[in-house]
Amino acid sequence: MSKRIAIAAIGTMGDVQPFVALALALKKRGHSVVLCATSDFEGFVTGHGVEFATLGSDIQAFMRQSQFDNVMSKNSLLYAPKLLRDGQKIMKEACRHLWATAQDVDAIIFHQTTNFAVDVAEALDIPAIMTAFQPINPTGEFPYFGYDGPPPEPLFNRISLDPLFNRLSYVVQAAHQSYYDFPRDRMRAKLLGLRSRKRSGFSKNARGEPIPALHAYSPVISPRPGDWPETTTVTGFWRLDDITGWEPDASFRKFLDAGEAPIYLGFGSMPWGAARNTEIITKALREWGGRAVVGKGWGGIKAEDLPDTVYTIDKAPHTKLFPLMKALVHHGGAGTTYAGLYAGRPTFVVPHFFDQPYWGRRVYELGCGPAPVRLRKLTPGILASALEELATDATFEIAATELRDRLVLEDGTGLAADIVEETIETYPGNLYDSDDVMETAS
């Protein structure tokens, strides 16, 4: 039976794009789907034939603020309070929009950044399904993905204490969670007519009970921990096919045909520290001397500053561009990392923040590229050395090719759609006592 499903997502293109893939998979099964995202993604969503509803704001404009640049590129926390306040205003506005949109839906699928969707679903007595693009549930098998401290081996006995250390690292996640939780109780009372939450957690309801959680990345890249709850599934990535019909133009094709496959460098939706990044890349490319393609999307770089062995490109779909490259250098976002490995390309990750260091470590641990180096620690010499490794170390290409052969067998959106349908069909309803609901809501 056809159902009406809302999807709520706030983030960069890498956060929204997989939900378009899931929406299309659900539509193909006969369901009605509305994708709720910030206003800057309306054209992208509707361009794929998916119904759009706004969550307000413009997240890309928010991330281009000078305060973000100071925090991210200069590692200064002086500007963080304003960003936190602005971010929570975005969350409150988004909750109001989702509440209005969700009145006629049978379920809400939500990105972890929109965990107020759990409260909206509770008020409507419908199921909520959490989605993350990184391993967000606590586990004893590895540290929190955002942990960037020293490895535990020299500090602890690996056999006896590592699981404890790994679980302790999730206090970082608790702090992360609290950022999203601050506005929630006010919205629960004022907008939804609900009492304060008793418990919290990205993949838990207001009582601390686990809800269905879809981890939309490949279990080949990051296997599912054995101590996760049964409600959590690693589905495989939700891959969106390109519909632009993009092909290299005459100039780019001439460059590609003029020599061996180049190495791609680009940092996606991360706009911070453009001047410093440009200087590092320009010097590294001159020192290395090989063929490269540089994405200009992150800003700052000029073709006239680069040697003839380097081509600059504005935008191109990764699914079409990456197979043309010999190897890749990027920020390590989940979607970009997957696209590169799906293309079977060796990768050097220069992480900025959040989950990017984790994916950089996984690429390295899988033998598909050099060890990651944080952007703030990157130098022209380090980058030039990594480029030479990518160009000459055949073991990276062998490992990446073997990994690709396993990734192409996955159907992440298909498995996710199965779980969504099962969750809706088996939802019992009336999960909350009347004590959870206030008498009136304004």
Task: Give the tens place of pLDDT for each residue, 93-112.
Answer: 999 999 999 999 999 999 98
Ranked by mean pLDDT, the top range of 73-82, 192-201, 386-395 is 386-395
Provide φ and ψ at 252, rounded to 5°: -65, -40
For residue 218 the two structure tokens come to: 């490949």
- Give the model's pLDDT for residue 72: 55
Residues 401 and 418 in one domain: no
CA distance 285 to 291: 9
CATH number at residue 256: 3.40.50.2000
pLDDT confidence band for 157 (50 / 70 / 90): very low
Residues 301 and 430 in one domain: no
pLDDT, greater one: 176 or 260: 260
Residues 94 and 212 in one domain: yes
Q: Is pLDDT above 60 for 143?
A: yes
Any idea what DSSP says for residue 413? H
Residues 77 and 95 in one domain: yes
Q: Is residue 330 part of a domain?
A: yes
For residue 23 the two structure tokens come to: 């929406």
Residues 18 and 75 in one domain: yes
Kindly state the average pLDDT of the residues 252-279. 84
Q: Is pLDDT above 80 for 441?
A: no
pLDDT confidence band for 423 (50 / 70 / 90): very high
pLDDT, greater one: 293 or 297: 293
pLDDT confidence band for 341 (50 / 70 / 90): very high
CA distances from 367 to 145, 223, 339, 398 (A): 19, 16, 17, 9
- Give the model's pLDDT for residue 439: 47
Q: Where are the alpha helices (DSSP H) in 297-345?
A: 318-321, 334-342
Q: Is residue 103 part of a domain?
A: yes
Q: Is pLDDT above 60 for 18?
A: yes
- Give the model's pLDDT for residue 173: 74
Kindly state the average pLDDT of the residues 252-280. 84
Q: How many domains does the chain have?
A: 2
Q: Is pLDDT above 90 for 263?
A: yes
User: What number of other Cβ atoms are within 10 A of residue 155's Cβ?
Assistant: 12
CA distance 421 to 107: 10
Helix (H, G, I), strand (E, B) or coil at 293: strand
pLDDT, greater one: 64 or 335: 335
Q: Is pLDDT above 60 for 69?
A: no
Place of tokens 């081509």: 311
Over the chain, what is the mean pLDDT? 86
Ranked by mean pLDDT, the top range of 27-41, 48-62, 203-217, 417-431 is 27-41
Q: Is residue 119 part of a domain?
A: yes
CA distance 272 to 353: 11
Residues 424 and 402 in one domain: no
- Least confident interval from 44-53, 80-89, 228-237, 403-412: 80-89
- Give the model's pLDDT for residue 160: 46
CA distances from 159 to 144, 155, 315, 361, 413 (A): 18, 12, 47, 21, 37
Residues 417 and 323 in one domain: no
pLDDT, greater one: 370 or 60: 370
Q: Is residue 114 part of a domain?
A: yes
Q: Is residue 242 part of a domain?
A: no
- Give the model's pLDDT for residue 321: 97
Q: Is pLDDT above 90 for 436?
A: no
- Give the model's pLDDT for residue 159: 45
Beta strands 232-234 and 263-265 are unpaired
Residues 403 and 414 in one domain: no
* 3-state DSSP percent of the chain in helix, strand and coil, to 5: 45, 10, 40
Residues 227 and 316 in one domain: no
- List, in order, residues 6 or more apart from 320 with CB less than 8 Å away: 242, 246, 247
Task: Concatenate the DSSP letters of all residues of 260-317 into one string.
Answer: SPPEEE--TT--TTHHHHHHHHHHHHHHH---EEEE-TTS---GGGS-TTEEEES---
- Give the model's pLDDT for residue 269: 56
Q: Is residue 28 part of a domain?
A: yes
Q: Is pLDDT above 50 for 25?
A: yes
Kindly state the average pLDDT of the residues 80-93. 75
- Give the model's pLDDT for residue 59: 66
Residues 133 and 187 in one domain: yes
CA distance 128 to 305: 51
pLDDT, greater one: 31 or 172: 31
pLDDT confidence band for 57 (50 / 70 / 90): confident
CA distance 222 to 81: 33
Q: Is pLDDT above 50 for 70?
A: yes
User: What number of other Cβ atoms are within 10 A of residue 222's Cβ?
Assistant: 20
Q: Where are the alpha helices (DSSP H) in 150-273?
A: 158-168, 171-181, 184-187, 250-257
Residues 426 and 339 in one domain: no
Nearest CA to 173 among 194, 143, 198? 143
Any idea what DSSP says for residue 120? H
Residues 54 and 133 in one domain: yes
CA distance 333 to 339: 10
pLDDT, greater one: 354 or 381: 381
Burial of 154 (0-12, 13-18, 19+ CB in 10 A): exposed
For residue 419 the two structure tokens come to: 């779980």
Kindly state the average pLDDT of the residues 290-315. 81
- Give the model's pLDDT for residue 110: 97
- Least confident interval from 49-53, 110-114, 311-315, 437-441: 437-441
CA distance 422 to 106: 12
pLDDT confidence band for 235 (50 / 70 / 90): very high
User: What number of other Cβ atoms are within 10 A of residue 424's Cβ?
Assistant: 18
CA distance 53 to 45: 10
Provide φ and ψ at 368, rounded to 5°: -95, 5
- Give the model's pLDDT for residue 414: 98
- Give the model's pLDDT for residue 218: 97
For residue 187 the two structure tokens come to: 């919205």
Q: Is residue 259 part of a domain?
A: yes
**Residue 64: domain span:** 4-137+170-237+410-436
Q: Is residue 165 part of a domain?
A: no
